Amino acid sequence: INKNANIKYASINSKKINPNDLFVGIKGKKFDGNKFAIEAVKKGCYAIVDKIYHKHKKILYVKNTLSEFLKLSSKVRDVSNIYAIAITGSAGKTSTKNLIGQSFSKITSTIFSKKSFNNKYGVPISLFQIEKKTNIGVFEVGMDKKGEIKNLSKFIKPDVGLITNISYAHIKNFKNLKEIAEAKSELIENISPNGTMVLNKDDKFYNFFKRKAIKNSLRTISFSLFKNKGADVCVDKLIKSKNKNILSVKYLNKIFNFSIKNELIPYQQNILATISALSLKFDLNKISKSIFNSYKIPEGRGDTFKFKTKNKNITIFDETYNSNPISLQFAINKFDKIYQPNSKKFLILGDMLELGKFSIKLHKQFSNILNKSNIDKVYVYGKYISHTFNKLKTQKKGKIFNNKKQIFDFINNEMENRDSLMIKASNSVGLNKIISKLKK
């Protein structure tokens, strides 16, 4: 590579690459990225490949592009002077990462991935965002099996680790929750010396994580929604009003007040995690009370939009990015508490995937939660979610959809003006495609 080259960012998608980026050719299940290197070069980029389809002085051959990409991203991290925060957990990783990233951005130069870049491809892409001026880096770390978090976090070299919670997400490769907790705890092993772990005291594996952190000579700071748990950061009270809400947070026996919008009320645990992280670098007395008010809920994780059709105005809640037991319960509770007089609330549920042998059991248990809710009708689409449907009260049962056309027909023909609809499923179920069409 020419020593005068000014490579800014990296991407594995030739369609989304910009001049001076580095294109990394990755062979996937459907496409061989090596074939698109020439397309990237024509856009003014360098490219690295591990299979040569086109020859060009800006296309560089390596033995393994992914391995080389990780090494390069690690070098970017090594020469930076950032304060790195790494976030993992079964649910809420992306929402917490975005809230922390947006909050730190209001105070100092901060980078954080705009999407859920938390795997072996996403982490190096995120590391390549680091610039000379960057002070804070916020990274998300995911996993499907043991060892992945340990491998990815060693490239991030975090000063702070944060574990949101432990649930059955991705349990298909594990025997039980304890094994998931052990895999998530791999993050603790790669925290920098004298670093800090931010831990959820409401999670049943809190003590397990704390013991491991102490064993690794790390400081811990805890957060909890409840005052009586003795956490370092907890909710004191929430004062609701029409124009704004005040969330009073207790931090080390002192009260700090923050204004939050109505849509952020369900995200109090994410706010506490963010305050915990902020307290490690900044004086909370000097932080703006409105620091959380510009937070934007990520697409597919509870964002809302209006869908207009046939003189009807329907409010749709998009929860189609992912679904697991914690995120589904969170979404149902949030939707259940929304007060909309003279209108009905409908729910379309798709399968929670990657639950392995626990799939049927975990889907069945949600019928009890739905039967006690104020949601008018529940509709389902998928193999496992039918077990939820079969246990619903008769008055709660909508329909079992067999195809996506039936879903569109229901929204267009059966829903009425001012009704609300939440759609929730794992990403691979494909209900996000319905959301995309409705948004268009």
Q: Each residue of 225-238: pLDDT tens digit?
A: 988 788 999 999 99
Closest of 350, 409, 359, 353 to residue 378, by C-alpha: 350
> Across all residues in the chain, what is the average pLDDT?
94
* Burial class (CB within 10 angstroms; exposed 0-12, middle 13-18, buried 19+) of 359: buried
- Of 311, 232, 236, 319, nearest to 275 (Cα)? 232
Cβ atoms of residues 128 and 22 within 8 Å: yes
Residue 113 has a pLDDT of 84
Q: Where are the beta strands (DSSP E) in 390-430?
A: 397-400, 420-424
Tell me the per-residue pLDDT of 30-47, one tens digit each, with 9 for 90 and over. Answer: 889 999 999 999 999 999
Asked if residue 154 lies in contact with residue 131, where contact means CB atoms within 8 angstroms, the answer is no
* High-pLDDT (> 70) share of the chain, %: 100
Q: Which pLDDT score, from 0 to 100, does residue 5 have?
A: 82
205-212 CB contacts, 8 Å cutoff, 24+ apart:
205/166, 205/177, 205/178, 205/181, 208/181, 209/163, 209/181, 209/185, 212/185, 212/188
- The Cα 115–Cα 126 span in angstroms is 10
To the nearest 10°, report the CA torsion of 153, 16, 316, 265. Answer: 40
Of the candidates 37, 39, 41, which has an alpha carbon nearest to the alpha carbon of residue 24? 37
Please report, for residues 7, 11, 38, 274, the alpha-carbon distance to residue 4 in angstroms, rounded to integers and kept in the order given: 9, 20, 21, 39
What end-to-end distance do the CA atoms of the chain give, in Å?
42
Please give the model's pTM, rounded to 2 decimal places: 0.92
* pLDDT one-digit tens code per residue, 156-177: 999 999 999 999 988 888 999 9
Token pair of 270 as six digits: 């994410």
One pLDDT digit (tens) per residue for the chain, 440 residues? 778 888 889 999 999 899 999 999 999 888 899 999 999 999 999 999 999 999 999 999 999 999 999 999 999 999 999 999 999 999 999 999 999 999 999 999 999 987 788 999 999 999 999 999 999 999 999 999 999 999 999 999 999 999 999 999 888 889 999 999 999 999 999 999 999 999 999 999 999 999 999 999 999 999 999 887 889 999 999 999 877 899 999 998 899 999 999 889 999 999 999 999 999 999 999 999 999 998 988 889 899 999 998 889 999 999 999 999 999 999 999 999 887 778 899 999 999 999 999 999 999 999 999 999 999 999 999 999 999 999 999 999 999 999 999 999 999 999 999 999 999 999 999 999 999 999 98
